[in-house]
Every structure is written in structure tokens, then in C-alpha cells.
Amino acid sequence: MNRINQKLKADKKLLSIYFTAGYPNIDDTATIIRNLEKSGVDMIEIGLPFSDPLADGPTIQASSTQALKNGMTSDLLFKQLKDIRKSVSIPLIIMGYFNPMLQYGVEAFCKKCEEVGIDGLIIPDLPVDVYNEVYKSTFEKYGLVNVFLITPQTSDERIRFIDSVSNGFIYMVSSASTTGSKAGFGNVQTDYFDRISKMNLANPQIVGFGISNNETFTKATKQAKGAIIGSAFINFVSENGIDNINEFVEPILN
Amino acid sequence: MSYNINEKGYYGEFGGAYIPEMLYPNVEELRQNYLKIMAEPSFQEEFDALLKDYVGRPSPLYFAKRLSEKYNTRIYLKREDLNHTGAHKINNTIGQILMAKRLGKNRIIAETGAGQHGVATATVCALMGIKCVVYMGEIDIARQAPNVARMKMLGAEVKPALSGSKTLKDATNEAIRDWINNPVDTHYIIGSAIGPHPYPDMVTKFQSVISEEIKWQLKEKEGKEDPDYVVACIGGGSNAAGTYYHFLNNEAVGIIAVEAAGKGIHSGKSAATSVLGKEGIIHGCKTLLMQTIDGQITEPYSISAGLDYPGVGPLHSHLYKSGRGEFYSATDDEAMTAGLELAQLEGIIPAIETSHALAIFEHKSFKPDDVVVISLSGRGDKDLQNYIDYFSL
């Protein structure tokens, strides 16, 4: 069974951490992954940087720009991950925009993911309709879970469709925003979380956007299976480097 | 072969809507409604009336006698430069502001490079009393001060795009991010025939008034509706799309596109997307775009701020790939020379974007009885400083 699906069966709320590959330094990728696993994180999203990250706020934009300046490419990322499965067993997801993947070749990209031990992909600008018609069989051939986003504005009908096409979890964007927003969790989110919870979807939901600490993690996972932290973690490594990642993770989990 | 958009939003293999889910409700709302709204008689009436009384349409189709003599062919200029705000951009913003009103939106966002689309958007927002936010690269804000001032005078808020290269591409990113953050009350007026479906088609249809008029105006002047060639400059490609639209499926009419070659196609400082671009995804649409081998979008260059976009509208990618369109590119030098020539032969100072279209005569010879219609997409007032610097005037 795919490591993501296995992890989703665990009887606990899951913490997933996003980081930008190639940031702060070009060779940090494997160290960050190992340190995150050691710190007790449940899942990792490896951000493949893109020049024009439409869905991201300033923090992830800046880390992506720096990572590209540092020389990150799809090819290099796969090289850095070549032996990662010798040292970690945590589910690994690549999150990136569609164009770099398209240029690499979608099938070649998926094949490489399988080879290095990537379990899933999140591609915000690959719409579910196109995935379903064109790419689903390729992703499945290489054992990859593909994760789609939903937002408070997504209709019930579309959520049902996304649920039917998904084979891992659904990425619940907490509010109408780009990443790193500080909107917090108000009534809109509570209603939205209730609505989704009542839909009894086949795929568990993991909440992302606007989660930065224990308080927001706890709120987000009241009904959902887990939560994802990205910008807050990038800010932490910007300030503190990558050796003491546990200092970021532990307060969230305890 | 058809050169119109198909029901899924593609021109051949180009187009579609490659957007994050956060944008889906907005884009889908527009997709479901835009054709219906455009077909409403009350919409048509209001659109036509504003184009006539506010924009000043129809724009003249002018026979350029001295230019024709010089190049020994029959050249007509479609005078979009005489529109209110000085370019074809207003045709689209009038259409989209009426669309936004019918969709119940009360806030408008737009991106702008040189500021022409920003001014055209700020203008229609002032006209309708709707709040307007224009995103503009920080670098462009510095080099296009008069247009920034115009937008402010018209009541728009001009927000600097501080990310990436701080130019048009980044302004577009920021506008899209704004839309993600304001999904309910806001309409995004994209300025070119780019973006996720239905934008390329909607913008093309609003601009198609250009070729609609060319047909009847040419009938009056030449006794026939169809020219032998239509010529336009292409950045994203909205004036070109409008100029070609009613001739797309008539293969007897040659379609000519002139892109910006900058310092030379292979100089590393160019915006000749059809030659240098590869199929990919930019701003929600599959099209030809300039990018690295790793799929990172690169920065184009042209002396003309309105042509320096790393992609090209999906219709144009299809025209290029299918061979329906003849694509040329003009360097900065060729364009500037052609602009000066028009000023001195016809008494018209064109926008530098437009000057690229006029440089076609450097690249292609026409027969003496060919009727060649060139879209004179904008006037050169905004470019005076560039002309002054270039020619040491």
C-alpha cells in the first residue's frame, strides 16, 4: 500500500510540513526531510520551485525565487532524492506547478517519482478535469496518489467529483487566499469544516493555508484528519536554519 | 480546419484553463455566462452605444497614400489610435466592465505593463463608478510615470508588483493572487487575449469590432470586403485577434503577425515568442511561451513595453503552429525606423508596439494591387520619451 494511504489509517491527527526544495541552501533537501521525520512530522511536501507560483503568497514566492537562484531544477531534485528511501520511511509528496512537470515530460516525471520513492503529487494548476481525462492512468501506473484542492467556494457537486477522482486525501484550503495568509479561523471556516465533515467523503481531508502553530493546528484538525504547514515553516528555517527543526515541530504537536 | 475556439476552450491544442482550484468558481461563472450575456440585446445595445459615443467608433480606415507609394502596394491603416485613451485596449475594457456589472461584481482588478490597459480599465471604472485596482510591476511604475498618474487621476489604486522581475508577467501574477483572495465581489479584466478560457475568446470577441468594421469600410472604399492581408503586432495578441477575427476562416485573406525581436531573435534579448517559445502553461493557459529547459518562465525583452510578454495568446499559437498565420519579427531598430517613417510620410506618430507591425515592409514585399490592412493599434504619445532618446530629438 502507498505510504500516504497507510499513514492516513493511523489513529491520530496528522501534521504535514511543506518546504521549498533548494531553500535556504541548494543541498538542504535530504537533511530537511530527515530532520522533519525525526521531529515527529507525519508527512512531507517537497516544494518544487516555480518562477510564477500563482497560488502562493510572499513567503513561498521568495523561497522559490531563492531556490531557483540557488540552481534547483527537477533533475537536481530527483538526484538529491535518489537515496532518500535508505534513510526515511515517511510519506513524501512533491508539490509543484504543472509547467516544469510538463517540460520534464509527465510520464518521465511520474516514473522518476516512483524510482526515488515519492508517494504522491500536488499540482495546484493541473485541474481535476484535465487530470481525469488525460493523466490519471499515468499517475496510477507509477503508484502515485494525486491530491486535489478544495476551497470554501467549491460547490458540493464539484467536491463529490473531486472525491471520486481522488485516491489519497483532499487538500482543504482553509480560506479564499494564497498561501501564508493570516486570516485565522473564524465562522466561515467553522461552517466550511462542518459542511465538509457532514459530506462523509471517501477521502480524508487535510487542511492547509493559514496554519502556523499549535492553536491553528488544533482548530484545523478538530474535524479534519490533519493539517499542513508551509509558510510558517519556511519563515522558521529562514531565521533558524535547518538543524533545529524539532524546535518548530514539537510545540505544534504537544 | 477551424480557427475558432472549440467547446472545451481550445484553439487546436492550445488554450484551456489550467488554474488553481481557488480560481475555479470565478472562471467557471464567467465561462457559463459570457456568451449568454454577450448575446443579450440590452448588452449589445449598451456596448455598441458606448463604443460609438464614448470610444468614438467606428475608427477610420485610412488609405495611406504616401506609404503605399513608397512600398508600391495598397496600404490601409485601421486607426485604433484614434480611440478614446489612445489604443484598441478600450474596446475590451468597455465590454468587460459591462460583463462585470451583469455578473454583479463591484470591484475590478487589472494588470498592466506599459499602462495602456491599466488606463483603459481605470477609465471604464470611472465611467461606471466601480472601484478599480491596477497591478503594475515596480519597474514599469518607475518607467511609465505619466500613465501611473493618469490611472490615479481616474481614481484607480495602482499597486506595485514586487515579486519576480517586477514587470508585466509579475503584475499578472499579482492580479491573479488578488482574485484568489477576493473570489466573490471582484472581476478581473485581463487586457490581452491570454489567460484561462474563456478569457482569450471573450477578449477576442470584444476586439473583433476591429475586423467587423474593416469589412464594411473596405467594401465602401475598394468595393470588396476582404483585403489580401491583415497585419498586426503581437505581444499577448488582443489587437491582432480583433483584426484577424472575421477573416480567420477565409483562407484568401493572408494573416500576418509581427512580434518583437528586441535586439535580435537570438540575442537573448527578444520577445519573439512563436520562434523562441515552447508549448507550456502560463497564466492559466496552454500556449507557446518563453521558458528554460526546466520549465521556468523567462523574461522577454522589447523596447516596447506592450510587447514584452513571455507568452502569446492561444489563438496565435494555433495560427502559428497550423501555418494559417505568417509570423515575422521586427527588431527594436526596425520598429523605431518604421515609426519615424510613418510620422514623416503620413503625419501619424504610432505607438512603438504598432511600429513593429509597420516594419513588415522590411520583411515582406507585396504586389502593387494587394490590399494590405495594418492595425494601427495605438498612438505614440506615451512613447515620446523613447522616441526622443532613440533619435536624440
Determine, for residues B296 and A50 on separate chains, whether the beta-carbon distance falls below 8 Å.
yes
Residues of B in contact with A148 (CB under 8 A): 21
Split at pLDDT 50, 70, 90, the class of B269 is very high
pLDDT at A49: 98
Is any Cβ of chain B less than 8 angstroms from the Cβ of A57?
yes
What is the ipTM, given to two decimal places?
A: 0.95
Contact B77, B102 (CB under 8 A): no
Predicted pLDDT at A121:
98
Q: Are A149 and B296 inside 8 Å of each other by CB?
A: no
Strands (E) across chain A are located at: 14-20, 43-48, 92-96, 120-122, 145-147, 149-150, 170-173, 205-208, 226-229
| C-alpha cell recorded at residue A39 | 521531529
For residue B114, what pLDDT is reported?
84
Residue B47 has pLDDT above 90, yes or no: yes
* Residue B6: per-residue pLDDT: 96
Contacts of A106 in chain B (CB under 8 A): none
CB A170 within 8 A of CB A150: yes
Task: Tell me the chain B residues in contact with residue A70 when contact means C-beta distances shorter than 8 Å.
Answer: none
Residues of B in contact with A153 (CB under 8 A): 22, 24-25, 183-184
| CATH classification (class only), A3-248 | alpha beta
Yes or no, beta carbons of A52 and B183 under 8 Å apart: no
Mutate one of B24, B165, B309 to test the A interface: name it (highest A CB count within 10 A): B24
- Looking at the partner chain, which of B21, B177, B295 has a beta carbon nearest the beta carbon of A148? B21
What is the chain A residue with the closest CA to B298?
A: A51
pLDDT tens digit sequence for A96-110: 999 999 999 999 999
Among B17-21, B143-147, B298-302, the minimum mean pLDDT is found in B143-147
CA distance A95 to A81: 14
- Mutation target among B184, B289, B294 for the A interface, most CBs of A within 10 A: B294
**Residues of B in Cβ contact (< 8 Å) with A133:** none
Most A CBs within 10 Å, among B111, B169, B180, to test the A interface = B180
C-alpha distance from A36 to closest chain B C-alpha (Å): 27
CA-closest candidate to residue B95, choices B238, B243, B195, B246 = B238
Contact B297 A99 (CB under 8 A): yes
| A148 reaches B (C-beta below 8 A) | yes
**Is residue B84 within 8 Å of residue B55, measured between CB atoms?**
yes
Chain B residues whose CB is inside 8 A of the A65 CB are 163-164
- Catalytic positions of B are 89, 111, 377
Locate the domains of chain A by residue range.
3-248
Residues 6+ apart with CB under 8 A from A19: A32, A36, A44, A45, A46, A47, A230, A233, A234, A237
Percent of chain A with pLDDT over 90: 93
Lowest-confidence region among A175-179, B63-67, B156-160:
A175-179
Could you give all domains of chain B from N- to C-terminal order, each with its CATH number? Answer: 10-50+89-202 (3.40.50.1100), 56-87+207-391 (3.40.50.1100)
Q: How far apart are the first and last CA of chain B?
A: 49
Judge whether residue B150 has pLDDT over 80: yes
- Strand segments, DSSP code E, in chain B are 10-11, 14-15, 61-63, 74-78, 107-112, 131-137, 157-161, 186-189, 229-233, 254-262, 278-282, 285-289, 325-331, 371-375
pLDDT higher than 80, residue B104: yes
Nearest to A103 among B16, B184, B294 (CB): B294
pLDDT surpassing 90 at residue B143: no
Mean pLDDT of chain B: 96
pLDDT of residue A21: 98
Given the residues A28, A37, A56, A119, select the one marked as catalytic. A56
Å from A61 to nearest chain B CA?
Answer: 8
- In B, residues 332-351, which contact A (CB 8 Å cutoff)? none
Residue of B169, B176, B181 with shortest CB distance to A176: B181
* Distance from C-alpha of A244 to C-alpha of B3, rounded to nearest angstrom: 58
**Are A101 and A109 spatial neighbours (Cβ–Cβ below 8 Å)?**
yes
Residue B308: predicted pLDDT: 86
Q: What is the pLDDT of residue B165?
A: 78
Contacts of residue A68 in chain B, CB cutoff 8 Å? 296
Percent of chain B with pLDDT over 90: 93
Percent of chain A's residues with pLDDT above 70: 100
Angle between helical axes of B116-128 and B89-102 (0-180°, round to 10): 40
- For residue B99, pLDDT over 70 is answered with yes
Q: Average pLDDT in the B244-263 region?
A: 97
Q: Indicate yes or no: CB of A176 within 8 angstroms of CB of B294.
A: no
| Residue B60: its H or E element | none
- CA–CA gap between residue B18 and residue B27 (Å, rounded): 11
The alpha carbon dihedral of B241, B247, B249, B255 has a sign of negative
pLDDT 10s digits, A164-173: 999 999 999 9
Q: Which pLDDT belongs to residue A66?
A: 97
pLDDT of B1 > 90? The answer is no
**CB proximity B7 to A under 8 Å:** no
A103 at interface of B, judged by CB pairs closer than 8 A: yes
Closest chain B C-alpha to A15 CA, distance in angstroms: 22
Q: What's the mean pLDDT in A58-81?
A: 97
pLDDT over 80 at A181, yes or no = no
What was the pLDDT predicted at A183? 66
